[in-house]
């Protein structure tokens, strides 16, 4: 139903796979019946090495073949040499494990508003609720416990895993993947404080998620106060990320687990936020900027910048600072000693004058 | 049903709105048909400027009027001048978009224990489960997939969004808002370790959420080990916040996304924890204290303190420290150079003695 | 049903409890009707002091007795003196509040695949979905809104709280506790980037959770890309923790709220990650290592190490560094002053030569 077969039933040869991924066959042809990690692989399976850290495992793997960069290749094993082994292997995984979409139909335990529009070949599981005037594209998958609010639109081929909430008025693109526990369209955190009390500002905007976006488990995307919270095409978001009201995330960004983006900030295209990064509100991060893990971005970042730290500074500076940090207590003592030596010199000098 | 109309059907005049919010009409009266952000507004709409950062957008907005502080006002546009434009605008948003509560009734797909007590005019969606002896006030909204445990009490006019879990024995006040994915009353993280194994300490306490509290999406509030985990009146909590067992959060606090408060800590009234803050267990934070983003609070804080950093130090000190941090490698080099110069002076001095 | 009685109906004597926990009765025998925290206790109840911070409360408690270490005991109150008061009290809590499992049966509002296998004496709540070929052990509890995917296995006596999602193929051990909002088996965050676009790598592995593991509310455990994401026996995980694909967490670890472990990292036995810790991918943390709150682990840690900071350094070094940090601006000024003094000395010295 979801398009992944956990066990492959296909088989082929290493030479056929080499042709499929456009790589060079080395070390002889062998039959291949599946894929596996380098430590778990069994005879007949193909594995890969993308991270040099795992090259030593090649000597011990039981795999029959490996996808590898030429630079790391050894003659001990049949192999496909390619420029980008991670990408080539991912295509081989897909060849073995992807299966065509099979519609599961609409569960008798689902609750759809009479005026909800459902496209062709749906998969709607039990205990799914679909609100008034919602529009689902073709081949949409909504698994058990998903809540789709009034006036929500969901594009073709989108997959929504169990217990996701999509609040009223949200628009979800095509081929989007929403993992379990995602909340889209919850109210932004907006209050006007009067005499110490916080009065709620109605959040009347909405959320738009463009095509090919993937949101990890328990990700939150708040609806805009006014206007739109927007995640653009192709962006991938890891688990437990917070995206506040009126944020705009550009195309093809990667936002790693537990990062948070505060209200009204805008990310350009291809921005990378590593894990547990925080971005304060109302700022702009330019195209292709990269923010290191646990960093805090407190001011605008130009495109292409690589920063780390909280508050974030250029990554190269941060590396040098981090090398210095553990020496701080010694620096302080050295400074004290030096002060004493200078004082002595001064006394000596004034004595000698 | 929830009380927000995403599109307004009301219209009025700028002068009427000025009177409504107690502001000064400037630049002439105009008809007003709705509200919008300064960049998205269209003719007929009113917008606002509260953050000076957006003043330049005034020259380009298509809005017909703006709510603004006198200090930022320009004569280019009809306007309402007020002391607190954010608050005034929030009232105008409410005027256009708030609508009276309309009870949705009880879905035939809900499951209520026979001895659950439901108040007047409820809205209970499909796949809602309400446990034994639960008591719901009047006009309570429980949307699809909400789980209400045994012996839970929920006050009048409280709204619980889809897929929230309220565990047994919890007490929720009036006009509380619980966003999707909230978990109230999960077991606290309590173990007694014997011979390296962690034995669970039964968590037999409960959670009390007072009136007018709002909890963001996927917030967790653990039940007390013994006694009560308590969130007092008027406190607002953003998405993905962790509140551990036996924590007490005072009235009118603001706790921003992804912050976490460890067990048994107590926050006074009006405390602000910015995003991704961590508070260790068993400490007290006084009334009105403010903790900067990503900070770690490791000891008691007196009321009114403003702190930053991990571990947190006074904010003014932290600002000076942060200005120094990037210069650390240069400081270290300067220290080395100075040591060499002093050594030379000493040699010279001893030579000259 | 879940095995906890919020109010105790049992009563006993302090002498009987002293015998039960193997402690020394001091200050006379008294009847005991229940347990409570030191500040909330009423006459007839027993409380405890494990943290010296709460010793002063002993003078004011209304409890009739206390479980306490000999070192902290006062003669003002009847007591049980033990080596580990926290552990002894937890056993007393269990004596008063634990109750035998009572099967709740299968709700008529649950949806079980015809080929799902359910063990003896189940408790399956409303709106629970159980997929094809799923196998549930004896006395399994699945509360409202739980989603169990195809081919999932769940061991005897495991409790799954409302709105948990267990994706297809996951294996859950015996006596496991999964709190509300947990997501097990969501896709790992794996993409191969080509020409700036991120192509999804099918995540064909699975998740294995061993016996006696407890996962807090809204915890996410991603399925492996290939192979297995594994949490070993006895490990306890607090709320909102992220465990990425192919991570291995050893036995008897404690992972505190909002921590995150990146892909393919391996934790040994008895590792402690404090709150909001981040661990980067592909590294190893040895048995018994302890990582302080908000720290970032960026390289392998040997067993038994205690580290803090981001990036993490030995905890003792970190303490000294933190003591120095607030003095940095003064250090910088001191350095400038010293440079000026040395320059003057040099000038004097060259003048005097």
pLDDT of residue C208: 98
Q: Mean pLDDT score of chain A, rounded to an integer?
A: 95
The CA distance from A50 to the nearest CA of chain B, in Å, is 33
pLDDT of residue C1: 43
- Closest partner residue to B97 (CB to CB) among A194, A202, A224 is A202
A351 domain-assigned:
no
A115 domain-assigned:
yes
Whether A208 has a pLDDT exceeding 70, the answer reads yes
CB contact under 8 A, B218 and A218: yes
- Burial state string for B185-204 with b = 16 or more CB within 10 A and e = fewer than 16: bbbbbbbbeeeeebbbbbbb
pLDDT of residue A97: 94
d(CA C17, CA A50): 60
Contacts of A194 (CB under 8 A, 6+ apart): B84, B87
- Closest partner residue to C242 (CB to CB) among A98, A258, A310 is A258
d(CA C169, CA C154): 11
Q: Are residues A204 and A312 in the same domain?
A: yes
Across the beta sheet with B236-237, the strand order is B105-106, B123-124, B141-142, B159-160, B177-178, B214-215, B236-237, B254-255, B272-273, B290-291, B306-308, B313-314
Q: pLDDT per residue over B5-26, tens digit each?
A: 777 788 999 999 999 999 999 9
Strands (E), A256-305: 260-261, 266-267, 272-273, 278-279, 284-285, 290-291, 296-297
CB contact under 8 A, A320 and B339: no
The CA distance from C293 to the nearest CA of chain A, in Å, is 12
Say if residue B136 is exposed, middle or buried (CB neighbours under 10 Å; 0-12, 13-18, 19+): buried
- Judged by average pLDDT, the poorest of A317-321, B259-263, C6-10 is C6-10
B333 domain-assigned:
no
Whether B230 has a pLDDT exceeding 90, the answer reads yes
CATH number reported for the structural domain that contains residue B123 in this entry: 2.160.10.10
User: What chain A residue is nearest to C201 in terms of C-alpha separation?
Assistant: A90
C2 domain-assigned:
no
**Is A95 in the C-facing interface, judged by CB distances under 8 Å?**
no
Mean pLDDT of A294-315: 97
Q: Are residues B57 and B202 in the same domain?
A: no
- Closest partner residue to B129 (CB to CB) among C4, C126, C161 is C126
Q: pLDDT per residue over A98-120, tens digit each?
A: 999 999 999 999 999 999 999 99
Contacts of A351 (CB under 8 A, 6+ apart): none
d(CA C195, CA C217): 38
pLDDT of residue C298: 96
Q: pLDDT per residue over B328-349, tens digit each?
A: 999 999 999 999 999 999 998 8
Please report the number of interchain residue pairs, chain A to chain B, with beta-carbon separation below 8 angstroms.
212
Residue B320 CA: distances (Å) to CA of A326, B291, C327? 19, 17, 10
Q: How many CB atoms lie within 10 A of CB B167?
A: 30
Percentage helix, strand, coil for chain B under 3-state DSSP, each rounded to 5: 20, 30, 50
Tell which C residues from 139 to 158 touch B, by Cβ distance under 8 Å. Answer: 143-145
Question: Which of the residues C1, C212, C238, C304 would you substitute to probe the B interface, choosing the one with the greatest number of B C-beta atoms within 10 Å?
Answer: C238
Domain count, chain B: 2
CATH number reported for the structural domain that contains residue B63 in this entry: 3.40.1390.10
Whether B1 has a pLDDT exceeding 70, the answer reads no
- Domain boundary residue among B37, B65, B97? B97
| Confidence grade of residue A6 (pLDDT, cut at 50, 70, 90) | confident
The CA distance from A150 to the nearest CA of chain C, in Å, is 21
**Is C106 in the B-facing interface, judged by CB distances under 8 Å?**
no
d(CA B29, CA B15): 6
Q: Give me the phi and psi of A178, to 5 degrees please.
A: -115, 115
Q: Give me the phi and psi of A34, to 5 degrees please.
A: 175, 180
User: What chain B residue is nearest to C236 in terms of C-alpha separation?
Assistant: B198
Contacts of A346 in chain C (CB under 8 A): 341, 345
- Closest partner residue to A192 (CB to CB) among B90, B269, B342 is B90
Residue C214 Cα to chain centre, angstroms: 8
Provide the token pair at C164: 């948990």
Q: Mean pLDDT score of chain B, rounded to an integer?
A: 95
Q: Are residues C156 and C42 in the same domain?
A: no
Find out whether C216 and C177 touch, Cβ atoms under 8 Å.
no
- Domain boundary residue among B97, B115, B142? B97
Tell which A residues from 293 to 312 touch B, by Cβ distance under 8 Å. Answer: 294, 296, 298, 309-311
Provide the token pair at B153: 């009490």
d(CA B281, CA B261): 7
Provide the token pair at C27: 């200050």
CB contact under 8 A, B234 and A198: yes
Range of the domain at B216: 105-316
Q: pLDDT per residue over B78-112, tens digit each?
A: 999 999 999 999 999 999 999 999 999 999 999 99
Q: Are residues B157 and B220 in the same domain?
A: yes
pLDDT of residue A53: 86
pLDDT of residue A1: 43
| Confidence grade of residue B353 (pLDDT, cut at 50, 70, 90) | low
B325 domain-assigned:
no
Q: How many CB atoms lie within 10 A of CB C98?
A: 15
CB contact under 8 A, B329 and A321: yes
Provide the token pair at A218: 């328990």
**Is C93 in the A-facing interface, judged by CB distances under 8 Å?**
no
Q: Which residues of C are catalytic?
A: 245
d(CA A9, CA C12): 64
C205 domain-assigned:
yes
Contacts of C260 in chain A (CB under 8 A): 240, 257-258, 275-276
pLDDT of residue C114: 97
Q: Give me the phi and psi of C338, to 5 degrees please.
A: -65, -40
Q: pLDDT per residue over C156-201, tens digit each?
A: 999 999 999 999 999 999 999 999 999 999 999 999 999 999 999 9
Q: pLDDT per residue over A134-187, tens digit each?
A: 999 999 999 999 999 999 999 999 999 999 999 999 999 999 999 999 999 999
d(CA B171, CA B167): 10
**Is B202 in the C-facing interface, judged by CB distances under 8 Å?**
yes
Whether B352 has a pLDDT exceeding 70, the answer reads no
Contacts of C280 in chain A (CB under 8 A): 275, 293
Compute the CA torsion angle B208, B211, B213, B217 (nearest 10 deg): 70
Q: Are residues B163 and B221 in the same domain?
A: yes
pLDDT of residue C352: 63
- Burial state string for A167-199 with b = 16 or more CB within 10 A and e = fewer than 16: bbbbbbbbbbbbbbbbbbbbbbbbbbeeeeebb
Whether A351 has a pLDDT exceeding 80, the answer reads no
A1 domain-assigned:
no
d(CA B143, CA B164): 9
- Domain boundary residue among A74, A97, A120? A97
Question: Which of the residues A112, A244, A278, A318 would you substitute to probe the B interface, choosing the one with the greatest number of B C-beta atoms within 10 Å?
Answer: A278
Q: Are residues B250 and B160 in the same domain?
A: yes
Q: pLDDT per residue over B170-229, tens digit each?
A: 999 999 999 999 999 999 999 999 999 999 999 999 999 999 999 999 999 999 999 999
A277 domain-assigned:
yes
Report the predicted TM-score, pTM, of the whole model to 2 decimal places: 0.96
Three-state secondary structure of B4-24: ECCCCCCCEEHHHHHHHHCCE
d(CA C307, CA C318): 8
pLDDT of residue C51: 87
Q: Are residues A87 and A195 in the same domain?
A: no
Q: Is the ipTM of this complex over 0.90?
A: yes
Q: Are residues A264 and A183 in the same domain?
A: yes
Q: Are residues C26 and C83 in the same domain?
A: yes
Q: Are residues A90 and A139 in the same domain?
A: no
Report the alpha-carbon angle C121-C127-C128, nearest 5: 50
CB contact under 8 A, B339 and A335: no
Mean pLDDT of B282-299: 98
d(CA B163, CA B128): 9
pLDDT of residue C353: 53
Tell which B residues from 260 to 289 touch C, by Cβ distance under 8 Å. Answer: 260, 262, 276, 278, 280, 282
pLDDT of residue A353: 53
Find out whether B252 and B234 touch, Cβ atoms under 8 Å.
yes
CB contact under 8 A, B37 and A226: yes
Q: Are residues C118 and C44 in the same domain?
A: no
Q: Are residues A56 and A112 in the same domain?
A: no
Q: What is the mean pLDDT of each run of 10 residues along chain C (353 residues)?
A: 71 96 95 94 95 89 95 89 94 94 97 98 98 98 98 98 98 98 98 95 97 98 97 98 98 98 98 98 97 98 97 96 94 94 89 62
CB contact under 8 A, B186 and C53: no
């Amino acid at each position: 139903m979801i398009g992944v077969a956990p066990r492959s039933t296909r088989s082929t040869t290493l030479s056929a796979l080499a042709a499929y991924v456009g790589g060079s066959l080395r070390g002889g042809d062998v039959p291949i019946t599946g894929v596996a990690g380098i430590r778990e692989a069994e005879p007949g399976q193909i594995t890969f090495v993308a991270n040099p850290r795992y090259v030593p495992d090649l000597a011990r793997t039981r795999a029959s073949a490996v996808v590898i960069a030429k630079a790391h290749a050894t003659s001990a094993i049949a192999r496909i040499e390619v420029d980008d082994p991670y990408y080539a292997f991912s295509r081989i995984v897909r060849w073995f494990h992807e299966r065509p979409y099979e519609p599961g139909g609409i569960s008798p335990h689902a609750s759809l508003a009479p005026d909800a529009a459902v496209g062709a070949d749906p998969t709607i599981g039990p205990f799914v609720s679909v609100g008034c005037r919602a529009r689902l594209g073709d081949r949409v998958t909504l698994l058990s416990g998903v809540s789709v609010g009034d006036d929500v639109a969901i594009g073709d081929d989108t997959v929504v895993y169990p217990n996701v909430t999509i609040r009223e008025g949200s628009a979800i693109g095509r081929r989007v993947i929403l993992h379990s526990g995602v909340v889209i369209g919850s109210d932004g955190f907006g209050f006007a404080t009067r005499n110490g009390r916080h009065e709620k500002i109605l959040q009347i905007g909405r959320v738009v998620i463009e095509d090919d976006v993937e949101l990890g488990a328990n990700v939150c995307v708040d609806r805009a106060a006014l206007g739109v919270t927007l995640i653009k095409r192709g962006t991938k978001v890891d688990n437990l990320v917070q995206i506040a009201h009126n944020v705009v995330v550009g195309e093809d960004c990667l936002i790693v687990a537990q990062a948070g983006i505060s209200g009204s900030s805008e990310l350009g295209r291809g921005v990378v936020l590593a894990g547990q990064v925080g971005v304060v509100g109302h700022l702009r991060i330019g195209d292709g900027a990269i923010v290191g893990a646990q960093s805090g971005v407190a001011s605008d970042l130009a495109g292409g910048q690589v920063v780390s730290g909280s508050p974030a500074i250029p990554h190269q500076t941060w590396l040098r600072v981090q090398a210095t940090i553990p020496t701080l207590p010694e620096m302080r003592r050295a400074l004290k000693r030096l002060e004493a030596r200078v004082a002595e010199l001064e006394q000596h000098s004034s004595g000698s004058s």
